[in-house]
Structure 1
Amino acid sequence: MQVSATPRVLLLNASMEPLCIVSVHRAVVLLMSGKAAVVEEGGVLHAEHLSLPLPVVLSLTRYVHVPVRRSVPPTRRTVLQRDGHRCAYCGGVADTVDHVLPRSRGGRHEWGNVVAACMRCNHRKADRLLHEIGWSLLFTPHAPRWSLAFGQAAARAEPAWSPYLAA
């Protein structure tokens, strides 16, 4: 098989809700075993005695119960993604994260206390509170929904996934 166009495939539950992103190899195994069907294709995969549609989006043929999803942890990547790579203090391009209530003052590493920040604002704020330096946040930090953390970057990377990752 020759795979060049799409190295990843969006896997949907039978209810059309996004489950995960799988490799093309895993997608072909699911197709061949009859566990999934192609929803959107992006070409053809050729083997010696077989041609298959190149899946971009797959749907499971049977519904799989998914337990309550764990929340996405606030990592540097996910915080920058949630905040659109914009500094919460000045609106410039963010390249790091900052704790609104500094950890040295009892602040926790949780979604409501971590924001994206540019290096300049992060150093100027240091371990002080916002009211001590007369600053305010441009937005209120919050925990993203799982589908947003999973979907926004993926939808930019693969536009065909956008309708399945919305809401």
Structure 2
Amino acid sequence: MRLPPPGSELHALMSRFPRAGRLRWIGLRPARDVPMREVDVAGVEAGTGLVGDRYGGGSGKRGITLIQAEHLPVIAALSGHASLAPSLLRRNLLVEGIPLAALKGHRFRIGDVLLEGTGDCDPCSRMEKALGAGGYNAMRGMGGLCARVLEGGTLRLGDAVEWVAA
């Protein structure tokens, strides 16, 4: 998704965010079908992803997965749970305060790491086991964002999440 031409009203609207978001949770998937490992700090490598994550050496388009903190209570309610731990949803980063959907196709920073939103992070069939019957549908439209790592660095809980003009 590209921004409309500079100077247009739609370009201005799509380039404006009410505030920076915050990184609230970091999780690593060390291997398939094992619990995620929650960390406070994580290294990130350009072109790959999080150091210690099983997808860290992948193609890059899905180097890091993010989910919106504001969506967790909705997914919990739709799947019949009082609350959900971010690890159940198998995304690397939980962010709040900035709409992830608006970052699709655009560059953004979390701390000193530069990312580019590459597409939706749709739920998979594993959500039926994690959330119960209907878990896949409970998460549809709220699965988060996949991102490519353009510049590596270190992520820390509390880091700002900010859109970057191209």
The answer to whether TM tops 0.5 is no
- Structure number having the greater strand percentage: 2
Q: Using structure 1 for the length normalisation, give the TM-score.
A: 0.24
Higher Cα Rg, which structure = 1
Q: Using structure 2 for the length normalisation, give the TM-score.
A: 0.25
